[in-house]
Structure 1
Amino acid sequence: MADTTGRTALRAHGRRVASALGGRQPSGTRHPLVAVAMVMPLAILLSVVFGGWEAVLTQASSVAGMLGR
């Protein structure tokens, strides 16, 4: 219970700071294409560094199949 209360208080404090600085309230959701755009540069970098093109293609195919449903 104390852990949940602490996180709630911390989240409320963050919102107060953001509103004081003129920021908007976070909605808690993100469009899937925005999430993909955020992740792709890191995924490409890791695949180049570690040579995991096959694994990246397999995962991308799986994700595309899930989004297509």
Structure 2
Amino acid sequence: MADGSGRAALRTQGRRAAAAFGGRQSSGTRHPLVAVAMVLPLAVLLAVVFGGWEAVITQASSVVGMLGR
């Protein structure tokens, strides 16, 4: 019996942790700032590797313009 109650407690703890971190969104969309935070490190890496700072600046200004709408 202890194993069953232990698993139930772990499930409950997992649900609480998921709720604390926002859980899964039902609409399947991310907040725009989260998307920017996910893409920014890759964009910087590619800009350093390929030397495309002007392209990064252009894209960043486009994203900022879209977020401002």
Deviates further, 23-32 or 50-59:
23-32
Structure possessing the higher radius of gyration over alpha carbons: 2
1:34 paired with 2:34, answer yes
Alignment correspondent of 2:8: none
Runs of 4+ in 1 over 4 A off after TM superposition: 22-25
Relative contact order, CA 8 A, sep 6+: which one is greater? 2
Which amino acid in structure 2 is aligned with residue 66 of structure 1? M
Query: Whole-Å Cα distance in 1 between the matches of residues 54 and 42 of structure 2?
Result: 16
Q: Give ranges in structure 1 of 5+ residues lacking alignment.
A: 1-18
- Contiguous gaps of at least 5 residues in structure 2: 1-10
Map 1:1-69 onto structure 2 (within 5 A): 22=14, 26-27=24-25, 28-69=28-69
Q: How many residues align?
A: 51
Q: How much has 1:26 moved relative to structure 2?
A: 2.9
1-side partners of 2:58 and 2:67: how far apart? 14
Tell me the percent identity: 78
